[in-house]
Structure 1
Amino acid sequence: MTPPDHKKQGGGGFFSSIASSLSNFGSAMHKSVNGLLGYEGLQVINPEGGTEDAEEEAQRGRWKLEDRDSYWKMMQKYIGSDITSMVTLPVLIFEPMSMVQKMAELMEYSHLLDLADQCDDPCMRLVYASSFFISVYYAFQRTWKPFNPILGETYEMVNHGGITFISEQVSHHPPISAGHAENDHFIYGITSKVKTKFLGNSLEIYPLGRTRVTLKRDGVVLDLVPPATKVNNLIFGRTWVDSPGEMILTNLTTGDKVVLYFQPCGWFGAGRYEVDGYVYNAAEEPKILMTGKWNESMSYQPCDVEGEPLPGTELKEVWRLAEVPENDRFQYTYFAHKINSFDTAPKKLLASDSRLRPDRYALEKGDLSKAGSEKSSLEERQRAEKRMRETRGEQFTPRWFDPSTEIATTPWGDLDIYEYNGKYEEYRAATSSSSDSIQQTDFSSTEFNPWQYPDLAAE
């Protein structure tokens, strides 16, 4: 048998043959609501299949009928379009967290990158590092939308794994976020931009971004290309998320790579959550197979050149999802609650921090009306700042990240890269040495302030 093709291996191998055959039997149950509820071109996709009535399934979800009707009337003109920043969405579908804040959720299992840095085996390095990137998909399956960050909005995190984390919204049109995390073992950097395609009752999300990890001990640089994501049943039915396709993590220093295939959700849920693939050396020979579920755990096992397990070896678990709260309103993990609190905030928190957003806070307290009005107020202030910049002929300048001359090529388009400029470390060093550094910020009285022109109201 010839070695498996790394471009096709994800659906092959001993551990995925059954799931693949089930997935190929049929895709998830599609149930048209056309003719039932008077909407053309919409389908409800039930990941569990089943034989329940299509109209009954379509009526499920968080939307009230009148809200759903008005939302559909507003949204139908955008079918086929990228709606990343062109649509104002109701606060009903939001979670009390901003996108620059959610970027920090990947750090929950950062110990896997610590292990990768300490590991001498280049293939096991990729086992640890790829499991780190898979671990965040449990958070990605949440069906609530994070708030779009205000231009200049930031998020800071300390008190976790020795990590210093800073993220910033560096562009509004197009929306781009940048993030930097660092501890004694690794440096994590990301420029994040998404491209979307609205399909009526679903939304395809393409991660038009670049993620790099540098392992400090040997200077190894890892580059990630994640799969696209699809949000199903946006308007009708129970909203759910799937990310079928390949995740490729490449060691740019040695040429080794790991290619993992996220199984699509098939008939009656067959294959949903399943991930399998191989770690390849620079000669593209499979060395380690990996298998598991992105919402549960990942395991690995040495393999031969045909991708079969080596005799005398066994699967070993490398990552398992930590215990999560039951029946959590927003499907948060304990770590998500932690980063949404001030427990991970440094002293003298930046006034531009996501946690200080009044709309986020109101939603967290369950006041949807106030959350909606505060969200509208922030968005109007952001538009006013844009008009002021245009009047003055000025450009927005990010504080913690600088635009570079580098253009990254992704499967979904080119991306302008923003690089961490090191000024945050300088700021924190100066803050910690100041005479009032022992005083914690009074978060209850700190006003959210990401603005380029703080005196805009007076003008």
Structure 2
Amino acid sequence: MYCVKNDMLETCNRRENPVDRFSAVVAWSISTRRPLKFGFAPFNPILGETHHVSRGTLNVLLEQVSHHPPVTALHATDDKENVELLWCQYPTPRFYGTSVETEVRGKRHLKLHNHGETYEMSSPKLLIKLIPVPGVDWIGKDRIRCQETGLEAELDYGGKSFFGLRGSHRSIKGKIFKSSSMKLLFKIDGHWDRTVTMKDVDSGEVTVIYNAKDSISGLKTPIVKDHKGLWPSESAVVWSEVNKGILSKDWAKAKEAKKAIEEKQREILRARKSSSSGGHQTWVPRHFIVSINKEGGWDCSPIEIKVPPAPIIVPL
């Protein structure tokens, strides 16, 4: 979202024609795929946990709106560029003995309000290989579609074979075409952790649309600008003691801090189940309205029209 060296969302908005804007959105979507290291497990977000951060004029807010299943809602707004993002995602893992394949379900919308365009995006799957060669990869199909311009992209993320001997590691291939006629406009090729090119099928011209080194290198650590403005639900607050234990390599301290967080969540759950009203008290998200759609998926609508500036900022 905000961890990029170059402001790629600004580029999406400022391109002059629909085709150039669409290719910029494709490049930005690719930039959200980051290399992951095997063996580094993220924290499991607690119910109601939030992350509120600003980078320049882009304000981003996430909230964990469900714990079982784990559902994360995201809302981001940029008043200067008149850009808005709405995401509602939940992972569905499948175990295959030698690997874990996680499908990232849900809706991802990028809205360029100056142009009246909404880009609908899916996500490739996250593959965690356990044996014979441990590793983490993004694999499978990803689609990007803009109904207003009639443009669509299909991207295919590839990984290594079972024994790691075949296949192009972190490769990406795809195409951009017109939805109505299926007319092919561009071919996409490259590696999402290096460079990705786009070839015009009519002219044969090849251009680099994404360079990972230029886009995600030299990132700066977010800093707390306003300590009083931090919510108790902020990730940096929730996991502060666990983080301190990890950074100081005091694993016993980190373990105890994590255990305390989990026990507190169990106590809150027990209190809701035995509320004074005699019935189960339903937890309600603070920043989103959550519902289940006809397909059985999750919809998350932000309560506020715009995300306010955050107490945590990313230095430019």
1:199 deviates by 2.7
1:360 deviates by 3.0
Cα distance 1:188–1:361, how it changes in 2: closer, same or farther (>3 A)? farther
- TM-score, structure 2 as length reference: 0.85
**1:205 paired to 2:102:** yes
1:402 aligned residue (280, 286, 289): 289
Cα distance 1:191–1:140, how it changes in 2: closer, same or farther (>3 A)? farther
**Counterpart of 1:136?**
32
1:142 deviates by 5.8
Q: Is the 8 A contact 1:109 1:135 kept in 2?
A: no
Answer 1 or 2: which has greater strand percent: 2
1:191 deviates by 0.7
Per-residue displacement from partner, 1:400-452 (whole Å, max 9, x unpaired)?
11114x6275xxxx312111111774xx58x9xxxxxxxx89xxxxxxxxxxx
**Counterpart of 1:301?**
199
Taking the aligned partners of 2:224 and 2:166, their CA distance within structure 1 comes to: 38
- TM-score, structure 1 as length reference: 0.60
- Please tell me the root mean square deviation across aligned C-alpha atoms, in Å: 2.7
**Counterpart of 1:195?**
92
SS at match of 2:149: coil
Taking the aligned partners of 2:39 and 2:13, their CA distance within structure 1 comes to: 34
1:347 deviates by 6.2
**1:167 paired to 2:62:** yes
- Aligned amino acid, residue 175 of structure 2: Y
Q: Is the 8 A contact 1:116 1:125 kept in 2?
A: yes
1:164 deviates by 0.3
Q: Is the 8 A contact 1:355 1:361 kept in 2?
A: no
Per-residue displacement from partner, 1:266-320 (whole Å, max 9, x unpaired)?
452531111111111232111122212111122212113xxxxx24x2x221221
2:142 aligned residue (247, 251, 270): 247
Q: Is the 8 A contact 1:260 1:275 kept in 2?
A: yes
SS at match of 1:380: helix
Share of identical aligned residues, percent? 21
Taking the aligned partners of 1:395 and 1:278, their CA distance within structure 2 comes to: 45
Taking the aligned partners of 1:320 and 1:143, their CA distance within structure 2 comes to: 27
Per-residue displacement from partner, 1:30-82 (whole Å, max 9, x unpaired)?
xxxxxxxxxxxxxxxxxxxxxxxxxxxxxxxxxxxxxxxxxxxxxxxxxxxxx
Taking the aligned partners of 1:133 and 1:119, their CA distance within structure 2 comes to: 16
- Aligned amino acid, residue 188 of structure 2: M
**1:374 paired to 2:238:** no
Give the length in aligned residue pairs. Answer: 301
Structure 1: segments with no counterpart, 5+ residues: 1-103, 305-309, 325-331, 432-439, 442-459
**Counterpart of 1:265?**
160
Residues 319-358 of structure 1: pairs in structure 2 closer than 5 A: 319-322=210-213, 334-335=218-219, 338-339=221-222, 341-342=223-224, 348-356=229-237, 357=239, 358=241
Taking the aligned partners of 2:268 and 2:231, their CA distance within structure 1 comes to: 20
**Counterpart of 2:183?**
285
Taking the aligned partners of 1:376 and 1:231, their CA distance within structure 2 comes to: 26
Taking the aligned partners of 1:238 and 1:361, their CA distance within structure 2 comes to: 32
1:255 deviates by 2.7
Cα distance 1:189–1:110, how it changes in 2: closer, same or farther (>3 A)? farther
1:130 deviates by 1.4
Residues 106-145 of structure 1: pairs in structure 2 closer than 5 A: 107-108=3-4, 111-140=7-36, 143-145=39-41
SS at match of 1:138: coil
Taking the aligned partners of 2:132 and 2:243, their CA distance within structure 1 comes to: 26
**1:317 paired to 2:208:** yes
1:252 deviates by 2.6
Cα distance 1:261–1:379, how it changes in 2: closer, same or farther (>3 A)? same
Q: Is the 8 A contact 1:123 1:281 kept in 2?
A: no
**Counterpart of 2:273?**
390
Q: Is the 8 A contact 2:76 2:86 kept in 1?
A: yes
Report the more deviating stretch, 137-146 or 282-291.
137-146
Per-residue displacement from partner, 1:107-157 (whole Å, max 9, x unpaired)?
526722222222233222221111111112224456522101111111111
SS at match of 2:221: helix
Q: Is the 8 A contact 1:109 1:132 kept in 2?
A: no
**1:362 paired to 2:253:** no
**1:416 paired to 2:298:** yes
Taking the aligned partners of 2:49 and 2:170, their CA distance within structure 1 comes to: 33
Taking the aligned partners of 2:198 and 2:172, their CA distance within structure 1 comes to: 12
Answer 1 or 2: which has greater helix percent: 1
Q: Is the 8 A contact 2:5 2:214 kept in 1?
A: no
